[in-house]
Homo-oligomer: A and B are copies of this chain.
Amino acid sequence: MEVVFIAVDLNSALVSNRSVSGDVYEVLKSDIINLVLKPGQYISENEIAKLFNISRTPVKSAFLRLMSEGFIEIKPQRGTYVTLLDLEMIKQIIYLRTVVETDVFFTAIDLMNDDMLEMINKNLTEQKNLMDTADFAPSSFYKLDSEFHSMIYDYIGRQKLWEMIQGLQVFYTRFRMLDIVATSSFGTIYQEHLEMYKHIDSKDKAALKNDLNNHLSGNLKRLNHRIKDEFSEYFTTESTNNSNLQNHITRRNI
C-alpha cells in the first residue's frame, strides 16, 4: 500500500458544507491543486475513508465529482489516480486566455476610469507587500495573481466569463502552481503586472497585447525545458500532435 499525504486544511474543513462528502471533496481538490497530491499519484477510496473515519460512500461521491472535473481518473477494479498534466490542454488554455483577455483588456481600456486604476493599484500593492513578507505561502501569491486578472473581467461586466474559464483550468491551475513553486517567479510576474498596468493607464493597446502574449505563456517558457526531465512524471506522454495541420502544411509546401 502506498502512502497518501493529505493536508487537511482545517479552515476549509470547518466551513463544512454540512455534508461529509462535500468536505472530502474540498480537501482533496485543494490538495490536488496545491500539488500536495502529485499528478499520477495513487489514491484509494478505502484509505481516504479510514483517514476521515467515514464510510466509502461519501468518499466515492467526492471521487465522482473530482473525476468529472478532470482532477482524478477512476479505473474500475484497478484504482484511482490523480490525473497527469496534459501539456497540449495547457497550451490551448493559454491560447484561449490570450485571445479572450486581449479583447477583454481592450474593452476595459475603452471604459476605463480612475476607480479601476485605483483598484488595480491596490492589488499591485498587495502583491508587493506579500513578497516583502518572509516565508509567504505561494498560494497567497497565486490568489492575488488571479485577482489581478479577474478584476478586469469584473469591471467590464464579464465576471461570469471569468468563472467559466476557471472551470477549464483543471490542468492549467496546477501548471501555474508548479511554475510559482518551482521557479519562484513571483518577481517576474509582479513586474509583468506592473508593466501591464502602465500600458492600461496610457491606453497603449499594442503594447498591452504584447504584454499579455508574454505574460500568459511566461510559465510555459520558464518550465519548458524542465518538463521533459525533472517533472516528466507529472505529464502525459501523449503523441504530441495528431492534427491535420502538419500534413496540410507539409503538403502545401510540396
A residues neighboring B (CB under 8 Å): 18-19, 60-61, 64-65, 67-69, 76, 86, 88-89, 92-93, 95-96, 99-100, 103, 111, 113, 115-116, 154-161, 164-165, 167-168, 241, 243-246, 248-249, 251-252
Q: B168 contacts A113, CB within 8 Å?
A: no
A100 touches B96 (CB 8 A): yes
Q: How many copies does the complex hold?
A: 2
* Choice from B64, B76, B167 contacting A65 with Cβ under 8 Å: B64
Give A160 to B159 CA distance when docked, in angstroms: 24
Contact B103 A99 (CB under 8 A): yes
Residue numbers in B under 8 Å from A165 (CB-CB) = 96
A61 in complex: contacting residue of B64, B113, B115, CB < 8 Å: B64
Query: Using Cβ atoms and an 8 Å threshold, which residues of chain B touch A89?
Result: 160, 164
The A interface, classified by DSSP as helix, strand, loop or mixed, is helix
For residue A161, give the distance in angstroms from its CB to the closest CB of chain B.
4
Determine the chain B residues whose CB is within 8 A of the CB of A249 once the complex forms: 111
Q: A88-B160, A157-B246, A158-B243 are in contact. List 13 more A-B contacts (CB 8 A).
A: A64-B64, A64-B68, A68-B68, A92-B160, A92-B161, A95-B158, A96-B100, A96-B161, A154-B243, A155-B244, A157-B243, A167-B168, A168-B168
